[in-house]
Amino acid sequence: MNSKTFTSQKNRPALIRYGVVIIALILWYSFIWDPVTGKLEEKQTALEAQQLRITHLKKRINRLKNVDKRLAAEIKRLDHLKNRLVPGDSPQQVSTNIQNSFLKRASESGVEVVVYRSGSKRRWRGYQLAVSVFNLRGTTAQFVDLLEQLEKEKTISRLNNINIANHRGKPSQLRINLEVEALFLGAKAEI
């Protein structure tokens, strides 16, 4: 009996050593390894989020790279379009300027302007239109010449409601009723 007790006492220090090593491993894992790996995973996730953000910012930089050149081009285009507007501080002034220009072009092409007047104001996409109404008399060649001169003028205006009646006779005459509309922006032109 004595030999069994002696053997088990001899094995006890070995079990205690193994137990202490296992407890030390558990403590090391619990207090050192697990928190460090958790922080590493958090840092890895934060790093991936930052890399994604950097990728998005690079894409945005590429989109905005030449924005100053595009803005300068758009400003130049806007100035060009402003210059094509019929001048005037009110729709009535714009209509008067349309009439003056149209009368000049009509006399150059030989078309007789029988009656002209300002028409009622209209709207186009929220903007005012100045309207001038003309009754004309002339030949087909004169009317074509007038239309070509109006096209060369390069203003932002349009012909609307054209009625043409042909009166037969020795000199074939056309009676033409038409409206000319021009865009009036007013203060909106100062964008």
CATH of the domain at 143: 3.30.70.60
3-17, 69-83, 133-147: which range is least confident on average? 3-17
Q: Which domain holds residue 129?
A: 87-190
pLDDT bin (cut points 50, 70, 90) of residue 187 is: low
pLDDT digits (tens, 9 = 90+) for 59-90: 998 888 888 888 889 999 988 888 878 887 88
Indicate whether 71 belongs to any domain.
Answer: no
Domains held by the chain: number: 2
pTM: 0.57
Residues 121, 118: Cα–Cα separation, whole Å: 9
Q: Give the whole-angstrom CA distance, residue 71 versus residue 180.
A: 33
The CA distances from residue 49 to 35, 44, 87, 176, in Å, are 21, 9, 56, 71
Average pLDDT over every residue of 144-157: 85
120, 160: one domain: yes
In a domain, 171, yes or no: yes
Q: Is residue 70 part of a domain?
A: no
Structural Rg of the chain based on CA atoms: 44
Asked whether residue 34 is domain-assigned, the answer is yes
Say if residue 99 is in the same domain as residue 176.
Answer: yes
Verify that 17 and 59 share a domain, yes or no.
yes
The secondary structure of residue 148, as a DSSP letter, is H
Distance of CA 30 to the CA centre of its chain: 59
